[in-house]
């Protein structure tokens, strides 16, 4: 599939924002989030901005963005519509949670619970948009939903840990909890992503099954036309194997290995070195996950390409 910049930004930014939002709500629900106004502004404003800009950027990929509101009416059958509804509904408890934290010096545990639930449900709906597309086996498999949720929680935990250290807020216990969650979530996220990368690439359909002909030497003799068209550009996009492998290495190093090493080396510390390492880990991880998102789209193969002999 053609990796449109708007969709890459959407899935990366909104996933990070919802993950950050979810962990803030979870820690608040368990009474572990420090009541620090600066931290509240940093965490919740960042999360809301990432989610909002991500959702708005996804509209750029639509042919008629002004009609996007109509998607809200199809929630009974469309995961895209369910995602939109869930995203809008999540803004309600998230705004209450952020407002109480920033302006009232109060952390509402109930609002935190609903914020975390709404964030996770929205990410789940986003993942199901791709999981439900059966013509694309790289998406329509059991790894898609766990990977989306794991990467969202992984990036959210890492960024929350960085915010806590940057603002010097929270007890040693809270910093230890967020650091431990981030460190544990990185190997878990990588394990799931690696499984997705090595998932059986056999397409959902082959030229043999499409034509009903037996044998192994069945191929298209003549293309329907001689010029590239919309289907080939959008659904027949191809990335060279050597480039894909190199990008996987970059995504692995920046998205998982480097952040893990930075967090492990400075574990248990709350000095300037730990703060710098946590901030660097968060930034590098976001860059690595952006590469991973690009690959997620670029490596997807739609079965319509069979019609064109691919």
Band of pLDDT at residue 75, cut at 50, 70 and 90: confident
Find the range with the poorest average confidence among 111-120, 123-132, 167-176: 167-176
- What is the arithmetic mean of pLDDT over 77-83? 88
pLDDT at 281: 96
CB neighbour list of residue 66: distance below 8 Å, 6 or more residues apart: none
Q: For 221-235, what is the mean pLDDT? A: 64
Average pLDDT, the chain: 86
End-to-end, the C-alpha distance of the chain in Å comes to 13
pLDDT for position 230: 59
**Which residue would you say has higher pLDDT here, 243 or 147?**
147
pLDDT greater than 90 at residue 217: no
CATH number, domain of 144, equals 1.20.1630.10
Residues 232-250: pLDDT tens digits? 666 656 665 677 889 999 9
8 A C-beta contact, residue 147 and residue 192: yes
pLDDT value of residue 269:
80
Confidence (pTM) = 0.88
Q: How confident is the model at residue 185 (pLDDT cuts 50, 70, 90)?
A: very high
**266-303 confidence digits (pLDDT tens):** 887 888 999 999 999 999 999 999 999 999 988 877 77
Of 148-157, 165-174, 180-189, the least confident: 165-174
Q: What percentage of the chain exceeds 70 in pLDDT?
A: 80
User: Do the Cβ atoms of 49 and 94 come closer than 8 Å?
Assistant: no
When pLDDT is averaged across residues 151-165 and rounded to a whole number, the result is 96
Average pLDDT over residues 167-175: 86
Q: Give dist(CA 154, CA 172) in Å, integer.
A: 21
Question: What is the average per-residue pLDDT within 76-99?
Answer: 92
Read off the pLDDT band of 122 (50, 70, 90). very high
Looking at the structure of the chain, the number of domains it has is 1
User: Which whole number is the average pLDDT over 164-172?
Assistant: 87
Tell me, what's the pLDDT at 22?
97
Distance set, CA 56 to CA 84, 92, 165, 310 (Å): 11, 18, 30, 34
Residue carrying the six token digits 């690439």: 201
User: Whole-angstrom Cα distance, residue 224 to residue 229?
Assistant: 11
Query: pLDDT at residue 309 above 90?
Result: no
Whether the CB-CB separation of 302 and 6 falls below 8 Å is answered with no
**What pLDDT, on the 0 to 100 scale, is given for residue 231?**
62
Predicted local confidence at residue 128, as pLDDT: 95
- DSSP letters of 80-126? HHHHHHHHHHHHHHHHHHHHHHHHSS---HHHHHHHHHHHHHHHHHH
Tell me which residue range forms the domain holding 39: 5-308
């Amino acid at each position: 599939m053609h990796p449109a910049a708007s969709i890459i930004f959407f899935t990366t930014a909104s996933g990070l924002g919802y993950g950050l939002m979810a962990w803030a709500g979870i820690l608040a629900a368990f009474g572990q989030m420090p009541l620090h106004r600066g931290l509240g502004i940093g965490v919740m404003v960042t999360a809301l901005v990432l989610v909002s800009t991500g959702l708005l950027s996804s509209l750029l990929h639509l042919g008629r963005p002004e009609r996007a509101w109509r998607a809200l009416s199809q929630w009974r059958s469309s995961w895209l519509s369910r995602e939109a509804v869930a995203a809008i509904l999540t803004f309600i408890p998230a705004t209450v949670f952020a407002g109480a934290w920033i302006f009232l010096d109060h952390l509402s545990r109930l609002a935190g619970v609903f914020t975390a639930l709404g964030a996770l449900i929205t990410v789940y709906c986003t993942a199901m948009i791709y999981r439900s597309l059966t013509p694309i086996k790289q998406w329509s498999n059991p790894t898609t939903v766990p990977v989306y949720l794991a990467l969202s929680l992984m990036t959210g935990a890492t960024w929350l840990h960085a915010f806590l250290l940057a603002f010097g807020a929270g007890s040693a216990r809270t910093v230890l909890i967020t650091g431990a969650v981030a460190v544990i979530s990185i190997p878990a996220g990588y394990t799931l992503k690696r499984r997705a990368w090595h998932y059986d690439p056999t397409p959902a359909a082959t030229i043999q099954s499409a034509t009903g002909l037996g044998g192994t030497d069945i191929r298209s003799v003549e293309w329907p036309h001689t010029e590239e068209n919309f289907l080939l550009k959008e659904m027949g996009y191809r990335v060279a194997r050597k480039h894909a492998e190199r990008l996987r290495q970059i995504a692995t190093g920046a998205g998982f290995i480097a952040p893990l090493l930075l967090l492990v080396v400075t574990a248990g510390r709350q000095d300037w070195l730990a703060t710098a390492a946590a901030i660097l880990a968060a930034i590098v991880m976001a860059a690595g996950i952006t590469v991973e998102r690009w690959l997620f789209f670029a490596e997807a193969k739609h079965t319509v390409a069979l019609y064109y002999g691919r």
